[in-house]
Structure 1
Amino acid sequence: MSTPARIRVAIADDQELMRSALAMVVGSQPDLDLIGEVGDGAALVELCLRHRLDVVLVDVRMPRMDGIEATRQIVSRRDAPRVIVVTTFDLDEYAFAAIRAGASGFLLKDARAEEIVDAIRVVHAGHAVVSPPTTRRLIAHLVAAPATNDGEAQRVLEQLTAREQDVFLEVAKGASNAEIAKRLFLSEATVKTHVGHLLGKLGLRDRVQAVVLAYESGLVRPGA
């Protein structure tokens, strides 16, 4: 049986101490391969052009190019690596913008080592690293209520079946599969299937992007 390919990781943070700490965590895992560590977003974009990467950990506030623009440039490429934003959350109000730019989720800078490596693996597997409770806190903290956009909301809903619409609205509010199953009287397996279908129809990578679309289209408002 062949050995699974190692997950190729890069780190971008302008604080040398933080870079070193993250590099130590990544380097300690047998299935993770640290390809490089840089101090700003422009250097990270260049690193992604030179190497095939699977996951990058990106700080938001960096010189030359911040994490938001770096994320936007990185994910625009074909076969782009997944991006995890590293944020202080309470102080860093650019986290939501980075997720909107294409990040698959975020970590707090004080996350435990096991949380960091687990997030890398989860993102590499194609999922978001933002838990439903954290999604709710992030949205409540960062999103200003958008103007109602009935046309965009209708366009989104028209692509989904009635049940997929129900599931989509629950996902957008930060509900887990178990919570959705209970509220809509479905099995968790059925909810998982509906989530997969609606993400595919709407061209979304993960649940985080579903939350972003729901708020930007006006289907869901902060505090709803």
Structure 2
Amino acid sequence: MKQVEVYMIKSGNHGGVNHAAGFIYPVEEHIAAEYEKDGTAKKVNFTSLSAHDSKVEALTDEYAEKASVIEGDYRLTEEAKAEDKRALKEEYAQKIAEINEKYRQDIATLKNGALAKATELGTAEKVDYDAIKRKIGVLKSEVDMAYSFTGAIEYLQMHAKAMDQATATELLASFTELIAMLQSKATGINEAVAKTAIRNTYDDIKKAATSESQTAANVEYRMLEAIEQYRGSLGYRFSRLK
């Protein structure tokens, strides 16, 4: 069955085989479809990068064919065959090195584009910042006046679920104030438990502040980093040929 590569957004398991988050794996197409459906993984599909890979594979096949012709030429001595094959491989190694340089440049360009999308601020919709400031003022007052740490956390988490992107973005900008308020109410609560609750609350608000396009761009950026770090250069099959 045909296999495709997927980038694991979250760790997954299929048929007893574990796939760790942050890595790229070849899996069967139906497994990739299941992973994509539940948001566990995303198919690796960059047209420009695939084009470079295809060129290297074609050059590898071309080199193997020419090397085979040299090897089968009865008119040449073994020494002459070895010399001709060495020169041929150097020629094709240079061609593949040039493609690899373009490949690395394309990855850098794609990463820069994804990073720009993932970190863009603001929203396309018209925003009433005065209304947002009033809303955030009320949120902070409620947190400050909460009777307990748990009550303050629950209040923030409840509102984070229904918070619009502009409000969430503005609230993140002053989250250090909320941390101070929450920490002042955490007396008697295990420090690790309090930190985890605060961190989870921050993540909830950050999720509300992040658009779908930003989330997708973030995944794309991390996928490209994985390609860059774990796949390395193109031409592994070529390097194994003599």
- Normalised by the size of structure 2, how large is the TM-score? 0.25
- Normalised by the size of structure 1, how large is the TM-score? 0.26
Please state which structure has a larger fraction of its residues in strand. Answer: 1
**Structure with higher RCO (Cα < 8 A, 6+ apart):** 2
Structure (1 or 2) with the larger CA radius of gyration: 2
Please state which structure has a larger fraction of its residues in helix. Answer: 2
